[in-house]
Amino acid sequence: MEDFDEVDVLEPNNVIILQSYGAIKMMLHDYQGALEDLDKVDVLEPNNAFILQRHGEMKIMLKDY
């Protein structure tokens, strides 16, 4: 994650980095953190179907229906 942190400072709106952060946090069961990263991507790419799907999955994991 440290490598991602360095790139995130240089490119804070990089969709690929934000998606990767979300995926890593999801694997670590940090569903709230993953949701926050996915929310950032949703602002940058509101019609990204993959992000919308992941967003829904995180809501289910958090039992936030």
* Cβ contact 37:21 at 8 Å: yes
pLDDT in tens, 5-45: 565 677 788 999 899 989 999 999 999 999 999 999 999 99
* Cβ contact 55:42 at 8 Å: yes
**Residue-range definition of the domain harbouring residue 42:** 2-61
Domain count along the chain:
1
* Cβ contact 55:35 at 8 Å: yes
Q: Looking at residue 17, what is its pLDDT? A: 87
CATH code for position 51: 1.25.40.10
Q: What percent of the chain has pLDDT over 90?
A: 54
Cα–Cα distance for residue pair 21/35, rounded to 1 Å:
10
